[in-house]
């Protein structure tokens, strides 16, 4: 309820009350009346300004003037209010559009920042992994700067020798091979069927787990380790060949790269560490072996003879070659003209007088080195043979192919006595027996270890995120090493 001045009958801006008549007045008007008359206008009794009592009220809403109550005045007032509402609405729309643009820009910046952060995180992770492997002072060693104590890739950094005229298997060479085979056979008979006392037992082997993983050995831009070998005299030295065309020697104990060899023009698919000399060998689809040039097409397999002086190689040109690593000369080069098929792998028998090759048409061929003749064939696979391995006892041959199977052959009876069917689409890339012939490791879609004779699986590792291209045992199977297309080198032990 509004207060009304007793003099002007309007809502007062500064209301006050007279204690004489208890009426409400506009202070401005009552003060003027008191100044002229000195009495209360309502009852005529004496009244002074000091007696007036102010009334505290919120800002009153003054009623519209009587002239504003006409219809034209009301319409004009409504029009003014409508115009004001429209102007305010227009201002709000402008502010909304500006806010939307700012929000859109902020979201775009946030998305771009997330992408940059993800890329930088990936690069930092790769750099940390490389740093974990490449310890200070290790560095990448150029072949020309390798110290005398480090292994040397014969021919590395330079052009491989041209294909030499075949020297032939001289009587001296044949006698040397025969003498070595006699020694090895005698040693094997002395050992008999007993296994080394220090060999890790199957129950302990079954407890192996991953103890180390290194991914900084080869280039991250061309990922993949395609070949693996351990130094026979010091299994802490690991040799790898990569899709980046490089060969790397890695020290397992020091966890650092010892040497890096460059020279191949295509990926490195086979590597071998010499057992007694500071020399490594590598082969590539660029038709070269980094010691000799013996083939006209991609080299698919390498195997070092037990004497340490001769190298066996197989190629897509359908030939196998036997070369002298000291002179770099090809001694003999042979093909099976009746087969007319590319060779996919090669491996010496432990005695060194025979060897096996795998072919692209599923055949395993056994050759007599002295006579350079094919003495036996093992059919049975239904896909290209990818890997072969002879057992140390000299009796067994393990073969893997692109038919998801693993076959064991008895060289005495020349027949297949065991076939292990692997998972569908399983790719066998590497086979290796340990030095005692007690265990067989398989690398491919995963890593599997079988105990020989029973041929039961004792280990299965799936840590690699890509195909496993190489597996190898340490001394007395104290550890297992593996390399794969995920660019990692892994070690397993207790």
Q: Is the predicted pLDDT of residue 457 greater than 50, yes or no?
A: yes
Average pLDDT over residues 390-407: 91
Q: Is the predicted pLDDT of residue 23 greater than 60, yes or no?
A: yes
Average pLDDT over residues 454-468: 91
pTM of the model: 0.68
- Distance between CA atoms of residues 385 and 217, nearest Å: 28
pLDDT at 61: 61
pLDDT at 195: 76
Lowest mean pLDDT among 62-66, 199-203, 281-285, 478-482: 62-66
Going along the chain from its start, the domains and CATH numbers come out as 1-59 (3.30.40.10), 186-192+199-493 (2.130.10.10)
Q: Is the predicted pLDDT of residue 404 greater than 50, yes or no?
A: yes
Percentage of the chain with pLDDT > 70?
Answer: 90
Residue 357 has a CB neighbour count (10 Å cut-off) of: 24
pLDDT at 192: 67
Asked whether 394 and 191 are in contact (CB, 8 A), the reply is no
Q: Please, which pLDDT band fits residue 151 given cuts at 50, 70 and 90? A: low
Asked whether 236 and 277 are in contact (CB, 8 A), the reply is no
Q: Which residue has the higher pLDDT, 128 or 439?
A: 439
| pLDDT tens column, 213-224 | 888 788 877 888
- The residue with tokens 């209360």 is 40
Q: Is the predicted pLDDT of residue 163 greater than 60, yes or no?
A: no
> Order of strands, edge to edge, in the sheet holding 310-315?
299-304, 310-315, 319-324, 329-335
- Distance between CA atoms of residues 291 and 322, nearest Å: 12
Average pLDDT over residues 141-145: 35
Asked whether 370 and 377 are in contact (CB, 8 A), the reply is no
Lowest mean pLDDT among 7-16, 307-316, 359-368: 7-16
Q: Which of 93, 12, 24, 6 is nearest to 60 (CA)?
A: 12
Average pLDDT over residues 49-53: 93
pLDDT at 282: 92
pLDDT at 222: 81
| pLDDT tens column, 328-339 | 889 999 998 888
Average pLDDT over residues 90-114: 94
pLDDT at 132: 63
pLDDT at 145: 32
CA 356, distance to chain mean position in Å, is 34
| pLDDT tens column, 272-299 | 998 888 888 999 998 888 867 788 889 9
* Mean pLDDT for the chain overall: 86
Residues paired with residue 25 on neighbouring β-strands, in sequence order: 16
Sign, CA torsion 185/191/197/203? positive
Q: Which residue has the higher pLDDT, 222 or 305?
A: 305
pLDDT at 275: 86
Q: Which residue has the higher pLDDT, 9 or 348?
A: 348
Q: Please, which pLDDT band fits residue 167 given cuts at 50, 70 and 90? A: low
């Amino acid at each position: 309820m509004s207060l009304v001045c007793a003099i002007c009958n309007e809502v007062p801006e500064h209301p006050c009350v007279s204690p004489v008549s208890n009426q409400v007045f506009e202070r401005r008007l009552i003060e003027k009346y008191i100044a002229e008359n000195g009495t209360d206008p309502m009852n005529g009794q004496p009244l002074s300004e000091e007696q007036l009592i102010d009334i505290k009220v919120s800002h009153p809403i003054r009623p519209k003037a009587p002239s504003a109550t006409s219809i034209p005045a009301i319409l004009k007032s409504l029009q003014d209010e409508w115009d004001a509402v429209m102007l305010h609405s227009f201002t709000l729309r402008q502010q909304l559009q500006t806010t939307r643009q700012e929000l859109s820009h902020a979201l775009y910046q946030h998305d771009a920042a997330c992408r940059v952060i993800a890329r930088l995180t990936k690069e930092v992770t790769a750099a940390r992994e490389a740093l974990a492997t490449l310890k200070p002072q290790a560095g990448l060693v150029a072949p020309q700067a390798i110290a005398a104590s480090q292994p040397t890739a014969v021919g590395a950094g330079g052009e491989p020798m041209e294909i030499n005229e075949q020297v032939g298997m001289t009587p001296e060479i044949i006698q040397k091979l025969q003498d070595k085979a006699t020694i090895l056979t005698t040693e094997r008979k002395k050992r008999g069927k007993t296994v080394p006392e220090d060999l890790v037992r199957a129950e302990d082997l079954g407890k192996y787990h991953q103890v180390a993983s290194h991914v900084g050995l080869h280039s991250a831009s061309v990922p993949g380790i395609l070949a693996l070998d351990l130094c026979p005299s010091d299994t802490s030295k690991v040799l790898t060949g990569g899709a980046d065309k490089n060969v790397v020697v890695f020290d397992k104990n020091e966890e650092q790269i010892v040497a890096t060899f460059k020279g191949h023009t295509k990926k490195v698919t086979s590597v071998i560490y010499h057992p007694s000399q500071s020399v490594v060998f590598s082969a590539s689809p660029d038709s070269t072996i980094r010691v000799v040039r013996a083939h006209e097409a991609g080299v698919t397999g390498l195997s070092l003879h037990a004497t340490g002086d001769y190298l066996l190689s197989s190629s897509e040109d359908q030939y196998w070659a036997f070369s002298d690593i000291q002179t770099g000369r090809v001694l003999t080069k042979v093909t099976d003209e009746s087969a007319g098929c590319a060779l996919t792998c090669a491996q010496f028998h432990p005695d060194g007088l025979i060897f096996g090759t795998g072919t692209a048409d599923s055949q395993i061929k056994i050759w007599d080195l002295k006579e350079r003749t094919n003495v036996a064939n093992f059919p049975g696979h239904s896909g290209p043979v990818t890997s072969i391995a002879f057992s140390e006892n000299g009796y067994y041959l393990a073969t893997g192919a692109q038919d998801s199977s693993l076959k064991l052959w008895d060289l005495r009876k020349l027949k297949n006595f065991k076939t292990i069917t692997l998972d569908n689409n399983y790719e066998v890339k590497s086979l290796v027996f340990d030095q005692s012939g007690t265990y067989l490791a398989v690398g491919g879609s995963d890593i599997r270890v079988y105990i020989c004779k029973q041929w039961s699986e004792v280990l299965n590792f799936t840590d690699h995120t890509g195909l496993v291209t190489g597996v190898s045992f340490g001394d007395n199977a104290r550890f297992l090493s593996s390399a794969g297309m995920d660019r990692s080198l892994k070690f397993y032990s207790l």
